Chains A and B, each alone.
Chain A
Amino acid sequence: MHNFIQAYSWLNIRYLLEGLWVTVEVSVLSIIFSFIIGGLLGILRYVKIKYVSAIIGFVIDIIRNLPLLLILFFTYFGLPNLGFKPEVIPAAILAMTVFESAMVAEIIRSGIVAVDAGQMEAARSNGMTYVQAMWHIILPQAIRKMIPPLVSQFVSLIKDTSLATIIMLPELMYHAQIIYGQNSNYVLPMFLALAVLYFIVCYALSLLSRVLEKRLSA
């Protein structure tokens, strides 16, 4: 008990919260970038432009099937060997964005595919152009189907920022390791704090998705 009180001193708590802030910062930026890039790639893969879609599809499949940790290592330790040396925070955001864009692209594409083909035919036969039908009819329906997998992807993104501790990104996991590295009595309290803090952030996002889903399906 005494360990816990000591471990949760204001200084340590503040240090953990600073780490949490970096986690949130890197996550939010990566989510925004990967949503934009992944959305574009997903649509490009769906519309089947000769060669372009096939190449994009293949690259997406390759990235999705690699461990994020490997992409992180490649970005921070591999790229300098090729003459490009990113700082820690940009490297983390770059690696997360590359990986998550591929994941998002696949979610967007399968969301569009899941909308009944009759919808597109009906819209077209009503005189809409392809783009109009896509924008007004298909995408609004597809988005409803995409929200649950997108949100769980973003929850994994937040959790996966902890991997960036290996390139010394000063996020939550890294700060916790520094604190318990100083005093082994702090190990258990720090793991408890890690579990609680990650859980609060990720669970809140999951709850938000449930609300959003209900509102959109109404």
Chain B
Amino acid sequence: MINILVRYWPELWSGLLSTLGSSLLALVGSLILGTLFAFMEISSHRWVKFIGRVYVEVFRNIPLLVVTMFFYVVIPMFIAKVNGFTAGTIGLTIYTSAFIAETVRAGIEAVDTGQMEAARSTGLTYTQAMVQIIFPQAIKITIPPLGNQFINLVKNSSVLAFVAGFDLMYQGNVVAATTFNTSDTYLAVGLMYLILTLPLSYFMRYLEKRLA
């Protein structure tokens, strides 16, 4: 296992960077998209609310692979050519945004309703109260679950292997096919995933304990 890590380090390292890059891009994208849909879900407009709910329920209930393959197979047929990395990252972003929307919505709803009433009675508009009073408190509640979403993103980004996204899983398969030593290669790839996810997951557990 060690000699595979040493010998194929350039390939595996570039895969690790792609995995990290894709996960970070998808995290930023899904945070923006997820927050947007969370606000749609709690909107008082019936249709806005409906669209928010449909988006969240649809993307929470279909596989990430279907979403990703859609961008890799269907979009090039009708709109524009996309490479595997882009298609994979867009798929990850859209899929994860549905989960983040739920997290953010739960965070907003967990903020005491008295906060909104107090803010409104001091003369703030609904939007001002939401942006300046409620949202900052909600974000604090949502940080631990968001950390877990990032861990999920790193793991889920392995779906890029399906669309030639040159991520860690893809590179791992290339190395496995070159060396024929499949068991050791996948163990090495697993070790590299753990370097990314395990410390973060212990840190998140520590954070949850401290915030609780």
Contacts and interface: CB of A to CB of B under 8 A. Distances in A.
Interface of A: 61-62, 64-70, 73-74, 77-82, 155, 159-160, 162-163, 165-166, 173, 180, 184, 187-188, 191, 194-195, 198-199, 202-203, 206
Given A74-B186, A155-B60, A198-B62, 4 more contacts: A67-B156, A73-B186, A79-B183, A199-B61
A124 to B, nearest CB: 24
A186 B168 CA distance: 32
B185 to A, nearest CB: 8
B162 A188 contact: no
B201 A173 contact: no
B66 A67 contact: no
A147 to B, nearest CB: 17
Given A82-B183, A198-B66, A66 B194 contact: yes
Interface stretch (B24-32, B38-46, B69-77): B69-77
B65 to A, nearest CB: 5
23 contacts: A61-B202, A64-B201, A65-B193, A65-B197, A66-B155, A69-B158, A70-B186, A74-B183, A78-B182, A78-B183, A78-B186, A78-B187, A80-B182, A81-B181, A82-B183, A155-B61, A159-B62, A191-B69, A195-B62, A195-B66, A198-B62, A198-B63, A199-B62
Contact of A160 (B63, B162, B184, B185): B63
Given A67-B158, A70-B158, A77 B182 contact: yes
Contact of B65 (A155, A173, A203): A173
A194 B58 CA distance: 12
Nearest to B189: A70
B64 interface: yes
A143 B70 CA distance: 38
Nearest to B154: A67
Contacts of A70: 158, 169, 172, 186, 189-190, 193
B98 to A, nearest CB: 12
Contact of A62 (B61, B65, B194): B194
A65 B201 contact: yes
Nearest to A64: B201
B82 interface: no
B139 interface: no
B109 interface: no
Contact of A67 (B176, B182, B193): B193
B57 interface: yes
Interface size bucket, B side?
35 or more
B36 interface: no
A78 B184 CA distance: 8
B48 interface: no
Contacts of B20: none
Contacts of B60: 155, 202
Given A67-B193, A82-B183, A194 B62 contact: yes
Contacts of A61: 198, 201-202
A69 B159 contact: yes
Contacts of B64: 159
A193 B187 CA distance: 36
Contacts of B161: 69, 166
B33 interface: no
A62 B187 CA distance: 12
A159 B197 contact: no
> Which 6 residue pairs of A and B lie closest in terms of their CB atoms, listed nearest first?
A67-B158, A159-B63, A65-B197, A202-B61, A78-B183, A81-B183
Contacts of A82: 183
A66 B74 contact: no
Contacts of A65: 151, 155, 193-194, 197-198, 201
Contact of A191 (B70, B162, B173, B184): B70
A10 B154 CA distance: 40
Contacts of A203: 57, 61
B63 A162 contact: yes
